[in-house]
Structure 1
Amino acid sequence: MGFTRRRPGKDGRVGYQALYDDARGVRQTAGTFTTRKAADKAWQRAEARIAEGKPGDPRRGKQTFRTYVEDRWLPNHRMEATTRQDYVYAIKAHIMPYFADMKMRDITSETVREWITHLKQNGVSAHRIKYCKTSILNAIFTTAVNDGVIIYHPSRGVATDPVPEKPRRTITPEQFDLIYNALPDADAQLLVETDIESGLRWGELTELRVKDLDTRTRVLTVSRAVVELVPEYHPEGKRFLVKEYPKDKRTRRFKLSPQITTKLKAHIEAQNLTSNDLLFARRHTPPKPPLHLVEPTDPTFTAPNGRTYAHGTITAYNLGKCKCDHCRGAYAAYRASRRAKGKDNPRKPRVVDTDPHISANWFRKHCWHPARDAAALDWSPRIHDLRHAHASWLLAGGADLQVVKERLGHRKISTTERYLHTLPTADETALEALNKIRNTFAITDLDLQGQLQEAQAKIAQLQAALADQLLVERANPTRNLRSL
């Protein structure tokens, strides 16, 4: 039940404060007024809004965009860890610098359009602008409307520049063989071949364990995925987070070919893997041994800048650019001694990551990109394009569309349909049909032309015979009279 409280001011004047309890039972104020009657009406209106299911306090719209997003929206909005990481980066880079100090109630559709123009002028791509507006800003304002912070949705209906869809290219079997043969070792080749044979996403592929493959029935179960995060966004401050569900939130099972199953089985036996071990794991390299200060044969050297330096000095390492073992060891010892004394802001000891999952960035840098460059293709396929190739090859080979959808874990069959006719040879059937129709009409036209020529020849013969007959009749007119 609301009430009015008498409240003397600093100047001696008496005011009346309207108080009420919100939907959570927390005491709130509806403002201070000069008369008791006005204060009574204020808390009564507030209670009426709560009774109507509208607990929103107009003063909540006075909070800044930064306060709402950082204190309320981000901590409480439900989303995947990778999505939260991407959202935070985009908010800090493109959204917060423009909207940070604006009050939530003052942001309008016109403000959002001005923000889009601002991003375009700063060189932000149309794709990035669409992502920030459609995925992030819309979600923020939708929640704010639902929470009663603002009355209307300022970014709904605001258009962004169109983002044309790039033509989809698919790795052909010939191109795959070139990349496969250029991979550095057998483990990388087996990983890539499993990817092209199964069509798994990278997080699903690198989280596969021995227990997920039934080598007898060749059935593979996909029930988990791993994502790579910045430790700041990991619940435990780690690098890899295993999710107990794949992207489509449901477990799927499908068969592998006999040849890839045989290879995986041989790999499991050769590596002595147990049931819970990863099929593809990162090999940890031992730490580098410390550098030993071996005295060089020549105590001095001439640097590229023309000056002479003595080995083992800081100037030799920094200015002379000498990176021999002696100079590197001397520089490392010098830095270590300073850090031991608390100088130079000593770094935290490096923690070795023992997680066996393979980093996508590491695999791209050390395996995929070198093999792709060695293959000398006319385009630059990604690792994820192996999944696209799997779908395209199945469909081009006559596999059922629904079967391919289930293997890939798509929610909608329209997503799977995108992989139809993506191979370079996919249009050959259409071209053959077109040529067949054109040739049929061409043959028909030739037949008609031949028949027309024959008819014209016969007409010419008849005309010639009639002409000869007329000449004969003109030459013998009496013969014609006798016949009469």
Structure 2
Amino acid sequence: MAAFKNEKNGTWYVQFRYTDWKGERQQKLKRGFATKREAQEWERAFLTEKKADVTMPFKTFAELYEKDVRPKLKENTWLTKEHIIKTKILPYFDQKRLCDITAKDVITWQNEIRKETNSSGKNLSQGYLKTIHNQLSALFNHAIRIYGLKLNPAATVGNMGKEERKEMDFWTVEEYTKFSNEMMDKPVSYYAFQMLYWCGIREGELLALTAGDFDFKNKTVTINKSYQRLHGEDVITPPKTAKSNRTIKMPNFLCEEMQEYITMFYSAGENDRIFPISKSYLHHEMTRGSEAAGVKRIRIHDLRHSHVSLLIDQGYQAVAIADRVGHESIDITYRYAHLYPSKQNEMVNTLDEIWKGEK
């Protein structure tokens, strides 16, 4: 690979020909490199990307994976994937050729990952092990779909770890009332928790709310965005899923309270966040309020579980609840099945009657 020096300013450049994705010959010129080596390395990387076959180093493939996948994902989703790739996958596979990674290599990698510990010195959780393996498998699947890899060695080996369903906890209305009474000394906290408990919205959805999202005439709030703190900046993204875009009816008392709250922000615009606080602030307030009220400390997300549990207790069916909280009805049925009254006795009695009728 040839590199050339620009005698006028002392920098280096490369100029070469390559075949593009249409099979046509193209010429490439790239200037401004400080050293000859940098110029040559850039040319080598460029040609490897254009060639993009399964003989490329795994590290190069990971870079292509980012270019292919990142534009389709929410930034916080990509950052999670990126952390796993950089800290759990590339250190083991970066210099191997993509096509040379075998099932045995994956088994060896799994055994090494199982030895790792977290910041507390404990073994990685079963759920996290499963997530790490799924990311490696996703990389190979992408290589199969796009770059012609023949086999996914991670799928051949099978997963490590297992899905861990987090314990679901919730507050009864009585418990929440005790808690909310303790929050009344800080209006922003009180009204934030009122929205979380009585509407069942997610934490990020709450923090993205603006005055323009409320229609007090029709007593609704529209959920169409989510708040994230990324790279030290406030970022507003689309909500978690397409199903999460929804309009929620608010009870009368909550409508009145939110009107009262929004009038406190006399200078707030239609698109300004009405809860200009952080997730860590809410977590701190959750601890403060639960201790003061003498109720068990639950997670912020458990307020969403509390809302769903309350609606189930009131006899509402999964489809109606799912529409309200932005879930699929099958998810409600599966995750909250233990809260629904059993129909087993009713079912067998019906079957008995059918059989008697036939006899």
TM above 0.5: yes
- From 28, 39, 56, the equivalent of 1:63 is 56
Report the CA distance between 1:406 and its aligned residue. 0.5
- Secondary structure of the residue aligned to 1:240 is strand
Structure 2 counterpart of 1:359, one-letter code? S
Q: Which residue matches 1:49?
A: none
Asked whether the 8 Å contact 1:210–1:276 carries over to 2, the reply is yes
Whether the aligned pair in 2 keeps the contact of 1:219 and 1:256 (CA below 8 Å) is: yes
Conservation of the 8 A alpha-carbon contact between 1:169 and 1:422:
no
Contact 2:321 2:329 in 1 (8 A): no
- Residues of 2 paired with 1:256 and 1:214: CA distance? 10
Q: CA deviation at 1:188?
A: 0.3
2:280 is aligned to 361
Cα distance in 2 between the residues matched to 1:141 and 1:92: 16
2:66 pairs, out of 65, 71, 74, with: 74
Give the whole-Å Cα distance in 2 for the aligned partners of 1:246 and 1:23.
Answer: 36
Say which SS state the counterpart of residue 319 (structure 2) adopts.
Answer: helix
2: CA distance between counterparts of 1:148 and 1:418?
A: 37
Equivalent residue number for residue 336 of structure 2 = 420
Q: Which ranges in structure 1 are unaligned for 5 or more consecutive residues?
A: 1-19, 29-55, 232-238, 283-357, 435-484
Report deviation, 1:23: 4.2
* 2:307 counterpart of 1:390: yes
For 1:388 and 1:197, the matched residues in 2 are separated by 11
Tell me the secondary structure at the aligned position of residue 54 of structure 2.
helix
1:8-33 superposed Cα distances (whole Å, 9 cap, x missing partner): xxxxxxxxxxxx956422559xxxxx
1:115 alignment partner, SS class: helix
User: 2:39: which partner in 1?
Assistant: none
| Contact kept? 1:405, 1:416, Cα under 8 Å | yes
Aligned residue number for residue 230 of structure 1:
231
Counterpart residue number, 1:409: 326
- Size of the alignment, in residue pairs? 297
Structure 2: tracts of 5 or more residues without a match: 1-17, 27-49, 117-122, 347-359
1:138 equivalent in alignment to 2:129: no
Check 1:422–1:360 CA distance in 2 against 1; reply closer, same or farther (3 A cut): farther
Query: Matched residues in 2 for 1:203 and 1:159: separation?
Result: 31
Deviation sequence 1:269-289 (CA, Å, 0-9, x none):
23325551446333xxxxxxx
CA shift for structure 1 position 149: 5.0
- What is the DSSP-based 3-state SS (H/G/I as helix, E as strand, rest coil) of the residue aligned with 1:156? helix
Mapped pair 1:155 → 2:149: no
d(CA) in 2 for partners of 1:23, 1:90: 31
C-alpha distance in 2 between matches for 1:194 and 1:61: 51
Q: CA RMSD for the aligned pairs?
A: 3.0
Q: Describe the SS at the equivalent of 1:150.
A: coil
1:90 matched to which residue of 2?
Answer: 84
Matched, 1:249 2:242: yes
C-alpha distance after superposition, 1:160-185 (max 9, x if no partner): 23334344222222322233233351
SS at match of 1:403: helix
Deviations 1:402-429 (A, max 9, x none): 111101111x211112453666xx77x8
Bigger radius of gyration: 1
Distance, in Å, in 1 between the alignment partners of 2:144 and 2:294 is: 53
SS of 2:264's partner is: helix
Q: Contact 2:219/2:250 (CA < 8 Å) preserved in 1?
A: yes
Preserved CA contact (<8 Å) 2:128 2:161: no
Q: In the aligned structure 2, how far is the partner of 1:22 from the partner of 1:270? A: 60
Matches within 5 A, 1:103-114: 103-114=97-108
CA deviation after TM superposition for structure 1 residue 209, in Å: 1.4
Equivalent pair of 2:210/2:272 in contact (CA under 8 Å): yes
> In the alignment, is residue 127 of structure 1 matched against residue 127 of structure 2?
yes
Name the CA distance, whole Å, in 2 between partners of 1:364 and 1:164.
23
Verify the 8 A CA contact 1:65 1:102 in the aligned structure 2: yes
Secondary structure of the structure 2 residue equivalent to 1:373: helix
CA distance in 1, matches of 2:99, 2:219: 59
Change (3 A) 1:267 1:422: farther
Normalised to the residue count of structure 2, the TM-score between the two structures is 0.74
Q: CA deviation at 1:376?
A: 4.2
1:83 CA drift (Å): 0.7
Task: Name the amino acid aligned to 1:107.
Answer: I
Instruction: Give the counterpart letter for 2:76 in structure 1.
Output: T
Matched-pair contact (CA < 8 Å) for 1:207–1:226: yes
Q: Which residue of 2 aligns with 1:294?
A: none
